[in-house]
Amino acid sequence: MLALFNALVVRDLRLALRRRSEALLPIGFFVIAVALFPLGIGPEPQTLRAIAPGLMWVCALLATMLSVSSLYNSDHADGTLDQLMICGHGSFESAVVIAAARSAAHWALTGAPLVIAAPLFGLMFDLPPPTIAMLAFTLLLGTPILSLLGSVGAALTLGLRSAGVLVILIVLPLTVPALIFGTGAVAAAEGGQSAVAHCSLLGALLIFTLLTAPLASAAALRLAVE
């Protein structure tokens, strides 16, 4: 099982390395989307500081959803997904490992760069350092949740025509708790209050999603290759 996990993650990272420009597209989207808001709302520092955490969380959400809808597409197209689903002689456990590996690779390529990029934007929005730190921390806990949930959506909509929009429709409502706890933590940090409660809830949500999302993805993948 571990060998399968490692093989998949290494392969995904290697593939992304060979297509660097494509791997950076979600970050590009994030940058543009975040920059649009001051243009649309006005450069008033107070307003920007107030909306910055929520704004960045939502843009991170959208960037993740956009990139996750094609998570299984290329494997499905060239037949690799069939080979993957045969692993362990088609057992459910192998499918779970595959889903987990793909989510992990997706997070490494999309979520992790977002966590790194967010503080830079925090400076652009003139957020104080403790707030930026909390923002990065909540994104660190939250982006894996987004990748995991996105993987469920991607598996469900595999091969469908309007898969991109469908993934967003299906998965976004499920990401609301993560969004609320994440931005709540940042707001608490900004107000000088303790963000422990928010962070614990976010952490609990991460654990819950880690344990359940790969199972749902695996079930959806098996439906898709039938």
Partner 1 sequence: MQLKGFHNPGGDALQALSSASITAAPLAPLAVQGLALERGSRRLFTDLAFELGAGEMLWVRGRNGRGKTSLLRLIAGLGAAANGQILFDGKARAAQRHVVYVGHANALKEDLSVSEALTFLLRIHGGRLDAAAIDAALGHWGLLAQRQAPVRTLSQGQRRRVALARLSVERRASLWVLDEPFDALDADGIECLNALLGTHLQRGGSVLLTGHQAALAADLPRRELDLDDCGT
Partner 2 sequence: MKLFTFAAPSRFYALSGRVLPWLWISAAVLAYAGLYIGFFVAPTDAQQGEAYRIIFIHVPAAWMSMVIYLAMAFWAALGWVLNARMASMLARALAPSGMVFTLIALWTGAVWGKPAWGTWWVWDARLTSELILLFLYIGYLALTEAIDDPKRADRAGALVAIVGAVNVPVIYFSVKWWNTLHQGASVSLTAAPTMAHAMLLAMLLMTFAFWAYAFAVVFMRARAIVLERECGAAWVRGLSNPAMGQAA
- Residues lying near partner 2 in the complex (CB under 8 A) are found at 152, 156-157, 160-162, 166, 169-170, 172-174, 176-177, 180-181, 184, 187, 201, 205, 208, 212, 216, 219-220, 223-224, 226
Residue 160 binds partner 1 (CB under 8 A): no
Q: How far is CA 217 from CA 5, 128, 194, in A?
A: 15, 39, 35
Q: Which of 32, 44, 45, 74 binds partner 1 (CB under 8 A)?
A: 74
Beta carbons of 64 and 147 less than 8 angstroms apart: yes
Tell me which of 9, 31, 62, 87 binds partner 1, using CB under 8 A. 87
Nearer to partner 1, 94 or 209 (CB): 94
**Which is closer to partner 2, CB of 105 or CB of 172?**
172
CA distance 112 to 60: 11
Among 9, 11, 31, 215, binds partner 1 (CB under 8 A): 11
Q: Are 34 and 56 in contact (CB under 8 A)?
A: yes
Please state the closest distance from residue 104 (CB atom) to partner 1, in A.
Answer: 16
CA proximity to 150, closest of 98, 202, 97, 214: 214
CB 155 within 8 A of CB 224: yes
Q: How many helices (H) and strands (E) does the chain have?
A: 11, 0
Give how far Cα 127 sits from Cα of 30, 109, 137, 179, Å: 18, 26, 15, 19
**Residue 15 touches partner 1, criterion: CB under 8 A:** yes
Q: Interface with partner 1 by CB under 8 A: which range of 64-72, 83-91, 153-161, 185-193?
A: 83-91
Instruction: Please give the residue ranges that form the binding site for partner 1 (CB under 8 A).
Output: 3-4, 7-8, 11, 14-15, 18-19, 74, 77-80, 82-87, 89-91, 225-226
